[in-house]
Structure 1
């Protein structure tokens, strides 16, 4: 179990503010300069996360996304940034003009480290799809030319959502079984997909115990049609300190 040090925020390292809006994270700007690593997607994610944790000297999450063309053996993959910069979505579409196979997959990887010299854990989300003629807004790079198989239009969150779901499940497992007694009621600390840090006083530890949870604990804590329980949940929200 990788614990988050008390009083430390988890820093989401990204060069794209749109990603922060997408996952609903309150954020401040911190300057972090990461080298452009080469290798397989997992290797690059681990290297970036380790370097970010070293620079921040604390817990970090680093996101990497790849778009892989099956006809090109997985390229552009982790090098999509350079391909997109030079070719734009229209050029990416034309790359497969000579290939019958237009299939591709989008891969999102969230790498988490609790701090300098701590191990890195990877959480992946993958979406199969097709390379199509670009359409729609250009806010998310190559998204206009990638159409997920399960949708009839381009979708910017599917692979990221799945990676966040894996991250959420991990943190839920870490907190599963922990209880907070407030107003005579026991509440299980539950997770959803928007990451926040909460300081929760648990009698079993006799001190503030820092856990990484998500907004579900702020809004519902196992919501119930019982109005009295919902009222107690509102009280719970006020008694949990948000960093």
Structure 2
């Protein structure tokens, strides 16, 4: 198994990534287990923040690193909340909550007829902190923003994220179904494909076998 540091201490992300990437021979280790502090995320795009997090984790540990940055982009709000999704309604003292973020989203969408929104996830895999060609993949999940929340599953904006084809919000979906359809699941599938292709090419060149 190839050890890779996950540039996150989120146990939910660790479980989701580990389940998918173990099939490619990758052993995910959360950065918190290796004493890596959280990286700064000063950028306005998902890809820049994911690159910063992966580079930071790889530099501190000397291991390959995987990072993600994700959020909700709403058309009528010019792409907001975007990279600020988790702290959309953050208070001056740093307090944040899903309830406050959703309340602000509903308020900002008042009177809007264009209800389109997309969950977006960008994953970055860096072989080293100076990797000039990191693997970068993106997954998106399109829906509409509801004024009234529905469902009790999920987290974040899920109760307001409506999927017209299914007639349900993300918070009404069974977890197993969400983990197949979500933006992060789509990005993970693209990452797996890219990693397997790279490992196959390495073996074809006669380099030491990788998982």
For normalisation by structure 2, the TM-score amounts to: 0.73
Q: Which residue of 1 aligns with 2:62?
A: 57
Q: Which residue of 2 aligns with 1:92?
A: 105
Q: Return the alpha-carbon distance in structure 2 between the equivalents of residues 98 and 137 of structure 1.
A: 26
Q: Which residue of 1 aligns with 2:174?
A: none
Is 52-61 or 23-32 further displaced after alignment? Answer: 23-32
Instruction: Give the Å deviation of 1:177.
Output: 7.2
Is 139-148 or 107-116 further displaced after alignment? Answer: 139-148
Q: Which residue of 1 aligns with 2:175?
A: none
What is the number of equivalent residue pairs in this alignment?
Answer: 180
Instruction: Give the Å deviation of 1:111.
Output: 0.7
Q: Which residue of 2 aligns with 1:106?
A: 119
Greater fraction strand: 1
Contact 1:50 1:116 in 2 (8 A): yes
Instruction: Give the Å deviation of 1:165.
Output: 1.1
Q: Deviations over 1:53-109 (max 9, x none)?
A: 212221010011120110011011011111152623243233201211111111011
Greater fraction helix: 2
SS of aligned partner of 2:210: strand
Bigger CA radius of gyration: 1
Q: Which residue of 2 aligns with 1:22?
A: 16
Q: Deviations over 1:163-195 (max 9, x none)?
A: 01110110221234788xxxxxxxxxxxxxxxx
Cα root mean square deviation, aligned:
2.6
Q: 1:49 to 1:178 in 2, by over 3 A?
A: closer
TM alignment of 1:201-240, pairs within 5 A: 209-211=209-211
Contact 1:54 1:116 in 2 (8 A): yes
Contact 1:127 1:148 in 2 (8 A): no
Q: 1:150 to 1:57 in 2, by over 3 A?
A: farther
Q: Which runs of 5+ in 2 are unaligned?
A: 20-27, 90-95, 171-177
Q: Which residue of 2 aligns with 1:161?
A: 185
Contact 1:92 1:145 in 2 (8 A): no
| Misfit runs of 4+, over 6 Å | none
Q: Which residue of 1 aligns with 2:73?
A: 68
Q: Which runs of 5+ in 1 are unaligned?
A: 1-6, 180-201, 212-243
Instruction: Give the Å deviation of 1:27.
Output: 4.6
